[in-house]
Amino acid sequence: MSIDLLVHGGDVLTVDDAGTVVREGAVAIHDGAILAVGPADELGGRYTAAEEIDAAGCLVLPGLINAHTHLAMTLLRGRADDVTLQGFLERVLTWEAELLAPENVAAAVRLAVAESLRAGVTSALDMYWFHEAAERAAREAGWRLHTGPTFMDVPGPPDGIAYEERLGWARRDLEARGPARPGHRPVVFAHSTYTLSPGQLTEVFALAREFGALVHIHAAENATEVATVEVRHGKRPVELLDSLGLLGPDVLLAHAVDLTGPEIAALARSGTAVAHCPVSNLKLGCGIAPVPRLLSAGVTVGLGTDGAVSSNSLDVLGAVRQAALVHKAAGDPTAVGAEQAVRMATIEGARALGLGDRLGSLEAGKRADLIVLDLDAPHLRPRHDPWSTLAYAAHPSDVRDTVVDGRVLMRDRGLTTVDERAVIADLEALL
């Protein structure tokens, strides 16, 4: 049988439920989907591929999923360091009002896509303004971007569309999308419980649910945010969302750092997921999300980088390492293990987006998003345990090849759909 692409010869870490590793394995790909995963000798005899990737001596694994980010904030990298969350927001909101326009967002997203491809990130959930420009930039590169309309009432949104007009604008956006492409779903972003009123939150969630969209919202990022919402509404952010009947399996909370036991129980009961952003949370002094307690309660937890202005990079492998390490600080070295941290960046991230049946593991029928990690380096030898290698030793520079939807977007560390020099020059011209 003729197929589009065969990735062969490396050890394949499938990240399926059993944690299967196929030594000297292969992944057969056609029409953007995975046809089969198995021994390289077997699949090489079964399929004739138009294109091949020789992964001998490498580790093949699912592409990493960035479950919470603001891609165009690459514009502001290095401009808001060593400040509190609230001080950070004050600065960023001022700069956004000055800098943001569709062409600037597109330029910043092109840079973010290049950085992400080099880091083995094959898809991201991007909450930001002028999402149409971001989608165009990602589509041009062949990269998987999950985005959509964002709602924030106070202060007013940088795109100038007031809340009163925004519901209609978002409805038209969702209607125009039609059926979701494979490996995608519609998304609506509600910024937070401190920038939208309870009534507005209810309206935004209702609109999203009318279209079967994922709802993504910042919640309980730090104690100051929680206190602000509690003074204003008499309830903590997660309590407020729960009291309004807004939690559910179609909801993904960003951060969820400051949580009580009853709030964790509410997330578990409702099926609400969490995007853990350990690097950003530490850098802004927000605290450490109670991820071990969330996992014990059965809450789905993915990993995010947040924006490049609060974490300074879009390095999901770095988030994996931080997630595997930071929770050990309480004295339990088993709190979040290497395998769990890697799963949070792959299959659990996909499940958090409601796309666990399409993304996040290398299994027949899923979309062909994968990366090849070059193990030919001193810091990656000996090769005892692939989970450990990924969580504690690997770096973005170890990623050699990146495939999205069956299309090779980076081969031998060279990007195939993005002109990096032009992208960098375009961004520098804006600053």
Residue type, 285: G
Whether 132 and 177 share a structural domain: yes
Query: Is 429 a domain residue?
Result: no
Q: What is the mean pLDDT of residues 73-84?
A: 89
**Which two structure tokens, joined as six digits, stand for 115?**
């950085």
**Cis previous bond, 155, omega within 30:** yes
Query: Is 181 a domain residue?
Result: yes
Whether 119 and 188 share a structural domain: yes
Residue 99 confidence class, pLDDT cut points 50, 70, 90: confident
Task: Quickly list H helices, 29-83.
Answer: 40-46
Among residues 352, 371, 392, the one where a domain terminates is 352
Query: Is 208 a domain residue?
Result: yes
* Number of Cβ within a 10 Å radius of residue 338: 20
Average pLDDT for the chain = 97
Read out DSSP for 77-92? TTSS-S--HHHHHHHH
pTM here is 0.98
Residue 240, SS3 per DSSP:
helix
Query: Is 428 a domain residue?
Result: no
Query: Is 35 a domain residue?
Result: yes
Q: What is the mean pLDDT of residues 41-50?
A: 98
Whether 245 and 392 share a structural domain: no
pLDDT in tens, 212-234: 999 999 999 999 999 999 999 99
Which domain CATH number covers 160? Answer: 3.20.20.140
pLDDT in tens, 289-303: 999 999 999 999 999
Q: What is the mean pLDDT of residues 27-56?
A: 99
Whether 80 and 31 share a structural domain: no
Whether 23 and 76 share a structural domain: no
Whether 69 and 120 share a structural domain: yes
Residue type, 402: T
Whether 261 and 399 share a structural domain: no
Range of the domain at 377: 2-62+361-415
- Counted domains in the chain: 2
Residue tagged 């088993």 (tokens): 334
Whether 34 and 68 share a structural domain: no
Q: Provide the percentage of residues in the chain whose pLDDT is more than 70.
A: 100
Query: Is 100 a domain residue?
Result: yes
- Nearest-CA neighbor of 126 among 96, 146, 151? 146
Note the Cα 226 to chain centre separation in Å: 24
Among residues 329, 352, 375, the one where a domain terminates is 352
Whether 272 and 399 share a structural domain: no
Query: Is 126 a domain residue?
Result: yes
Which domain CATH number covers 55? Answer: 2.30.40.10
Whether 369 and 346 share a structural domain: no
